[in-house]
């Protein structure tokens, strides 16, 4: 055991998955350990979409946890990824969000890299007028940013720093693979919006929130009021074997009276939308799943809320600061009607979305609530103590699945 593990595991954490100590959201050394063991460990991190890099020479900057990364399309079309850190003194190699280049030149002292992240030239390496310069035995091939293994799946690009990460689809498992295919299939994606949302909380509070099927109709008044999702609607939560990934599904709401929300904040039976088309559903998935929220460990989300589709990437910025990168999606073959419908329905999600604005605030409420509670425990007991797939959303099984995976990766 190294010193970091020693320090972390000496803190209180009862056995089992139903209690989570609050120090995991507030300690600096936990965040440092997560970077090493989770984000740089045997997992696949979402990097970008294939359509972000349509041509050879295209690049996009992204993150693996807190590590800045450049994803490129090399001369032969291959997707490549490397750390966005100059081998000389550590400056960012690439400053823009994206673009198209032949090579990269660090602005600080002009060291130059090819599209695969190999160091190709060092400015003034032979000095000036026979003086200065790099030593003759300096070997450029021994210096460069760390490189990622990169793979693509359903139009998305994922990367890992670990030689031990299993093949991507094996790692997801067949059920999660089919739930991703259900939404993205072999269709040609088109980006119809993108932005970054700043969250005032630890990254794990957001990832838990995404996997928390219990809160949706209680926290989000819009959901239950207009019956988009209620726990009394059919559906359930799928949790992968290791707990790493999940997919929740909501089926059509029940017909007729539903008294299960009586006395709750969302018990507003008389409310009606002035424009009900906001909640229309174009049948593009050919099943009765109206909402599917899917997560891939440690920080990727694929969202289908009716016809509002998005991918979200979680980027930790500090123990209590997180960036959430949203990309709204459509397909190249959308009819004009479907595209207009998607754009309207995107008002449901995002930082000011009718059904998701509270998610941007509630993590901050937790972060503030636990300010002095490092050694206290949260309770995660809805639906039992296990992390298996369940035919209900009145459960915290996929939250427990997250902690099962987390403890495995962290060695806690």
Please say which residue, 144 or 235, places its beta carbon nearer to Fe ion.
235
- Dihedral angle computed from the Cα positions of residues 31, 34, 39 and 41, in that order, rounded to the nearest 10 degrees: 160
The nearer residue to ligand FES, 108 or 285, going by C-beta atoms, is 108
Give me the least distance between CB of 96 and ligand FES, in Å please. 16
Q: What single DSSP character describes residue 411?
A: T
Q: Output 105 or 260, the one with its CB closest to ligand FES.
A: 105
Pairing relationship of beta strands 58-64 and 98-100 according to DSSP bridges: antiparallel
CB of 340 to ligand FES, least distance (A): 47
Report the residue number, 108 or 168, with the smaller CB distance to ligand FES. Answer: 108
The b-or-e profile of 90-119 (16+ CB within 10 A means b, else e) is eebbbeeeeeeeeebbbeeeebbbbbebbb
Q: Under rule CB under 6 A, which residues in 283-312 are in contact with ligand FES?
A: none
Cβ of 342: how many Cβ atoms within 10 Å? 22
Measured CA to CA, the distance from residue 375 to residue 43 in angstroms comes to 29
> Taking CB within 5 to 8 Å according to partner kind, which of Fe ion, ligand FES, none is near residue 359?
Fe ion
What is the footprint of ligand FES within residues 76-115 (CB under 6 A)? 86, 88-89, 91, 106, 108-111
Contact range with Fe ion by CB under 5 A, out of 2-10, 291-299, 351-359, 399-407? 351-359
Closest separation in Å from C-beta 208 to ligand FES? 38
Planar angle of CA 192, 326, 209, nearest 5 degrees: 140
Q: Which residue has the tokens 């915290």?
A: 396
Residue 247 beta carbon to ligand FES: minimum distance, rounded to whole angstroms = 42
* Alpha carbons 407 and 292: distance in angstroms, whole number: 26
Q: Compute how many residues bind ligand FES; rule: CB under 6 A.
A: 9
Smallest distance from ligand FES to CB 144, Å: 12
Query: Residue 125 or 232: which CB sits closer to ligand FES?
Result: 125
Residue 168 binds: one of ligand FES, Fe ion, none (C-beta under 5 to 8 A by kind):
none
Question: Which residues on adjacent β-strands are paired with residue 172?
Answer: none
Alpha-carbon gap, residue 113 to 379, rounded angstroms: 50
Q: Which does 88 bind (CB under 5 to 8 A by kind): ligand FES, Fe ion, none?
A: ligand FES
In the complex, residue closest to Fe ion by CB: 359
Cβ at position 223, least distance to Fe ion in Å = 8
Candidates 27, 83, 359, 396; binder of Fe ion (CB under 5 A) is: 359
The number of residues that bind Fe ion (CB under 5 A) is: 1
Other CB atoms within a 10 A radius of the CB of residue 18 amount to 19
The least distance separating ligand FES from the CB of residue 101, rounded to whole angstroms, comes to 16
| Minimum gap (Å) between residue 53 Cβ and Fe ion | 31
What is the spatial distance between Cα 352 and Cα 293, in angstroms, rounded to a whole number? Answer: 18
Distances (CA, A) of 328 to 188, 193, 344: 14, 5, 12
109/265 with CB nearer ligand FES:
109
d(CA 291, CA 235): 9
Give the CA dihedral 281, 175, 324, 199, nearest 10 degrees.
90
Burial pattern 171-210, b for ≥16 Cβ within 10 A else e, equals bbbeebbebbebbbeebebeebeeeebebebbbbbbbbbb
Nearer Cβ to Fe ion (26/209): 209
Site residues for ligand FES, window 194-213 (CB under 6 A)? none
Binding residues for Fe ion, rule: CB under 5 A, are 359
Binding residues for ligand FES, rule: CB under 6 A, are 86, 88-89, 91, 106, 108-111
């Amino acid at each position: 055991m190294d010193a970091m593990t020693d320090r972390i595991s000496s803190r209180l954490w009862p056995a089992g998955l139903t209690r989570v100590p609050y120090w995991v959201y507030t300690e600096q050394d936990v965040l440092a350990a997560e970077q090493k063991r989770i984000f740089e460990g045997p997992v696949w991190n979402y990097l970008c979409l294939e359509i972000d890099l349509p041509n050879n020479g295209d690049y996009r900057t992204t993150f693996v946890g807190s590590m800045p990364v450049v994803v490129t399309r090399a001369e032969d079309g291959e997707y490549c990824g490397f750390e966005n850190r100059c081998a000389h003194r550590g400056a960012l190699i690439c400053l823009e969000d994206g673009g198209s280049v032949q090579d990269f030149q660090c602005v600080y002292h002009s060291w130059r890299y090819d599209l695969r992240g190999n160091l190709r030239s060092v400015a003034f390496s032979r000095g000036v007028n026979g003086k200065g310069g790099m030593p003759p035995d300096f070997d450029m091939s021994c210096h460069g940013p760390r490189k990622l293994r990169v793979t693509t799946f359903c139009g998305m690009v994922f990367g890992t720093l670990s030689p031990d990460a299993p093949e991507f689809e094996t790692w997801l498992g067949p059920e999660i693979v089919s739930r991703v295919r259900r939404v993205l299939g072999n269709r040609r994606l088109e980006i119809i919006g993108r932005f970054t949302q700043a969250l005032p909380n630890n990254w794990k509070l957001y990832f838990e929130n995404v996997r928390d099927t219990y809160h949706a109709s209680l926290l989000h008044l819009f959901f239950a009021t207009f019956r988009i999702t209620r726990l009394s609607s059919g559906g359930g939560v799928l949790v992968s074997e290791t707990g790493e990934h999940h997919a929740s599904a909501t089926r059509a709401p029940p017909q007729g009276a539903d008294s299960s929300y009586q006395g709750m904040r969302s018990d507003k039976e008389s409310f009606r939308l002035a424009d009900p088309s906001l909640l229309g559903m174009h049948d593009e998935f050919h099943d009765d799943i109206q909402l599917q929220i899917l997560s891939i460990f440690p920080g990727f989300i694929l969202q289908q809320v009716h016809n509002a589709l998005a991918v979200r990437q979680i980027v930790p910025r500090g123990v209590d600061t997180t960036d959430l990168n949203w990309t709204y999606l459509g397909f190249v073959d959308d009819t004009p009607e479907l595209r207009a419908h998607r754009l309207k329905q995107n008002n449901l999600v995002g930082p000011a979305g009718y059904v998701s604005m509270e998610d941007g605030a509630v993590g901050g409420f937790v972060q503030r609530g636990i300010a002095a509670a490092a050694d206290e425990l949260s309770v995660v007991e809805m639906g039992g103590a296990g992390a298996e797939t369940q035919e209900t959303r009145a459960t915290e099984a996929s939250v427990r699945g997250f902690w099962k995976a987390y403890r495995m990766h962290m060695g806690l």
